[in-house]
Each structure stands twice: as structure tokens, then as C-alpha cells.
Chain A
């Protein structure tokens, strides 16, 4: 069946470093790839998304890259700050989104 795998499951960085989270998907028909951030006790919130006709998208300190041939996409956070600490979910799909298992990011001052 359709699957989205996400790595790593946990990531610890020092403030100011970069963080990279990677996802792979199985369904070649997938055309939409959002990233959600979930803070403790809250619902996930969309932070950036990319479509299959675009290879890269950037919004201030966050960027997403997509490699359709290899069926993988990545989230890049530069100059990390303590408030970036959260669980991040990737997702992919066509009409229905399949979510990855999540990455718990800890940014240490």
C-alpha cells in the first residue's frame, strides 16, 4: 500500500545549527507534499508545502526539496532556534494524504 517513511525519528541540534529531515514515498502519483509542525499539546500546523512540479521552495529559514525520480523530499531548517523544538511530520499524496511517523526535533541553547 501507499507509504511515507520519515527519518530520523529524533534529532538533537545546537542552536544556530541546521536540521534536515528526510522522507520517502511509495506512490508515484503523489503530487503534494506538506510539512506540519506539532508543538506540545497542540494540533499539527502547516509550515511549508511543495507540489510535484517544483523542485525546491523556501520560506525564510525553512526550505523543502523534492526529488521525484528518487521519490524523496526533505525539510531543511537553518539557524535553528529553541522555538523550533517540536515534532515535524511530512506527508505525501494525491487525493489522500499519507503521513510520516514524525521527527522529534530538540534545539539546545
Chain B
């Protein structure tokens, strides 16, 4: 299994441009997540999905959109890139256990995005 695969690894955008960060997992996990990681700030949840066709906002959803048409894929869309969206983005997936929906997250290797 490849686990969680993110593309691209690096990207530079100009202000106002748009792009889609791709995320795919081959573990048949129902739950998928998008986080952003800023220096000294830990990981902040942007959006998450509990299954195909279902998405919900996390802590910092403004400026982003997601879709979940299949179990495997969970793309993150930036419509009008702003400098505040410069960050490292991580996709993750999990297969929830009996007690918690957020167990044992498997993370991708990240996308480093700069908006200039």
C-alpha cells in the first residue's frame, strides 16, 4: 500500500491564482482530513470528510473548498490564493475505531505552498 499520497510536493502561486491540492489514499479509510501547518502553530484542521459525498468545516475553512466524490480522493481547492495561505498542507486519513472518530491518523508527506 502507498498509504496517503499528496501532489504536488511544492508549489508557488501568485496572489489571486487558484489551484487544487490532490490527496489519495489506498487504505479504504472512510475519514479524510486536510490540515495546514504554520511554524510554531501546530496543525490546524481545514476540512474533513466522514465518507464519500460528505464534507464538513474544521477550524480554519475560509478560503478553501473540498469535495469527496470517491472514498479514495479528497482534493483541496484554493480559489483566490492569498499570502496568508502560505503554509505546509497535510492530508490525512483514518478508519475510526469503536470509541473515537479521530484515531490513528495516517498523514501524507505534505505540500509546501507559497503565495507571493
Task: Mark A residues whose CB is within 8 Å of B.
Answer: 4, 6, 9, 31-32, 34, 36, 41-46, 49, 51, 89, 91, 93-97, 99-102
Q: Does B107 contact A (CB under 8 A)?
A: yes
Residues of A within 8 A of B45 (CB): 96-97
Assess the A32–B107 pair: CB atoms within 8 A: no
A9-B40, A43-B109 known; A96+B90 contact, CB < 8 A: no
**How many Å lie between the Cα of A91 and that of B44 in the bound state?**
11
Q: Are A49 and B42 in contact (CB under 8 A)?
A: no
Residues of B near A96 (CB, < 8 A) are: 45, 58, 102
- B residues near A, CB below 8 A? 4, 35, 40-45, 58, 90, 92, 99-105, 107-110
Q: Is the CB of A32 within 8 A of B102?
A: yes
6 A-B pairs closest in CB distance: A43-B107, A99-B42, A99-B43, A101-B42, A32-B100, A97-B102
CA distance in complex: A30, B102 (Å): 12
Q: List 7 A-B contacts (CB under 8 A).
A: A31-B100, A32-B103, A34-B104, A94-B100, A96-B102, A102-B40, A102-B42
Query: Taking the nearest CB of chain B, how far is it from the CB of A57, in angstroms?
Result: 14
Give B112's nearest chain A residue, CB to CB.
A41
On whether the beta carbons of B102 and A43 are closer than 8 Å, the reply is no
Asked if A32 contacts B99 (CB within 8 A), the reply is yes
A43 to B42, Cβ gap below 8 A? no
Query: What is the CB-to-nearest-CB distance from A54 to chain B, in angstroms, rounded to a whole number?
Result: 12
Q: Which of A41, A45, A89, A96 lies at the interface centre, i.e. has the most chain B CB atoms within 10 A of its CB?
A: A96
